[in-house]
Amino acid sequence: MRVAMVAMETAHHRDTRGAHRFDRIASQLADAGHDVTVFCAQWWDERRTAREIDGVRYRGVTLGPATAAFCARIPALLAAHRPDVIHVTPSPAEQVIAARTGGVIARSPLVLEWFGDEGLDAEAWLTERAVRTPAMVVTPSEMIRTEVRELGATEATTRAIPESIDFDRVRAVEPGEDVDVVFANRLDDSANVEDMLLGLAELRNRGWQATVIGDGPHRADYERQAAELRIDDRIRFAGTCDRDERLAIYRGAHAFVQTAYREQFPTELLWALACGCVGIVEYQAESAAHELIEGYDRSFRVTSAQGLADAILEAGDLERRDVDDRWAEYDRAAVARRYEETYEELCGDYGWL
């Protein structure tokens, strides 16, 4: 299948989770044997207008991010490319309209990838039009799907496809040292590490060890809070850590605590669950983390620091694991297949697949 992906700004321009997800989708589709071209603003220095990375062809539409010029050129480029399907990001909203125009000429269905961290600055009417334009809007969770429907999309034109993990990589990394509780998030305004610290402080008279993965502007504040609670000697602030380091920690840990205020999809929780961790999720109105563990028996959903403390104690009664095959359905290949099925369904509606 020939897939055209449209993103004026890719992960090479914007270091956001949504941008990185879009790039991963391109790579996963290419790995599955599809012909994938990303139409984007050029970020490379060479004079050539295209380059290939890991099987994905990047086609420079403009020399840099320039919304008006980018959107003016996209329809003709897509019409000439004749893709089977067009997959676009929502920011800027104008590019969704431009991609739709190209899709009409090429007779290609349009899929919009809406992660939820795009920070659209366009007028509300333009964002709403962008949401109503595609044949399908894909979101990472039901929470974000609801937000998109509130902007004007419908149940029939929206679909939640989760983040993915590399299950072979989970198995390949050796478990690290035993630890009772692990937390992972960027240590910013949304992290809410304090609730976990308060919960652990309730258990200061019991034997436990915890690891906090991540860095950010509030790391020093959290380290100071741990000291004030007199539990700093049992908490290791491990810093950012690369993926293999995180997997080793997760495979050696007994429980993973999720407390962040805002989470479009709890990717680190997913990795940890695959590594056998018990999932402990504090419910937050703007977090989709509770969706992931719904119906999962090795998990707890709580609403307070005291609830966290109680859940950590109860988690201790569950067996330790360092891998859980139940989460293999989130492997990269399995999730890529869900995109393929979406494309095939839409192309079938066009009457030519």
Residue 71, SS3 per DSSP: helix
* Backbone angles phi and psi of 305, in degrees to 5: -65, -40
Residue 210, strand partner residues: 181, 235
The C-alpha angle 175, 178, 184, rounded to 5 degrees, equals 80
Question: For 74, how many CA atoms within 13 A lie in the half-sphere containing its CB?
Answer: 31
Confidence of residue 319 (pLDDT cuts 50, 70, 90): very high
Q: What is the CA radius of gyration of the chain?
A: 22
Per-residue pLDDT tens over the stretch 28-41: 999 999 999 999 99
Please tell me the distance from the alpha carbon of residue 85 to that of residue 162, in angstroms, as a whole number: 20
How does the average pLDDT of the chain come out, rounded?
Answer: 93
Per-residue pLDDT tens over the stretch 181-221: 999 999 999 999 999 999 999 999 898 999 999 999 999 99
Confidence of residue 324 (pLDDT cuts 50, 70, 90): very high
**Domains identified in the chain and CATH numbers:** 2-164+332-349 (3.40.50.2000), 167-329 (3.40.50.2000)
Per-residue pLDDT tens over the stretch 32-83: 999 999 999 998 887 788 899 989 999 999 988 889 999 999 999 999 999 9
Residue 353 predicted with pLDDT over 50: no
Q: Around Cβ 199, how many Cβ atoms within 10 Å?
A: 25
Q: Around Cβ 172, how many Cβ atoms within 10 Å?
A: 10
Per-residue pLDDT tens over the stretch 212-235: 999 999 999 999 999 999 999 999
Confidence of residue 119 (pLDDT cuts 50, 70, 90): low
How would you write 306-349 as a 3-class SS string? HHHHHHHHHHCCCCCCCCCHHHHHHEHHHHHHHHHHHHHHHHHH
Residue 181, strand partner residues: 210, 255
The residue type of 12 is H
Nearest to 41 by CA among 18, 59, 14: 59
CA dihedral sign of residues 324, 330, 331, 334: positive
Structure tokens given for 294: 């719904």
Please tell me the distance from the alpha carbon of residue 145 to that of residue 149, in angstroms, as a whole number: 6
Per-residue pLDDT tens over the stretch 135-179: 999 999 999 999 999 988 999 999 999 999 999 999 999 999 999
Q: Around Cβ 86, how many Cβ atoms within 10 Å?
A: 26
Can you say how many angstroms the Cα of residue 90 is from the centroid of all Cα atoms in its chain?
15
* Backbone angles phi and psi of 311, in degrees to 5: -65, -40
Cβ(290)–Cβ(299) below 8 Å: no
Please tell me the distance from the alpha carbon of residue 269 to that of residue 281, in angstroms, as a whole number: 9
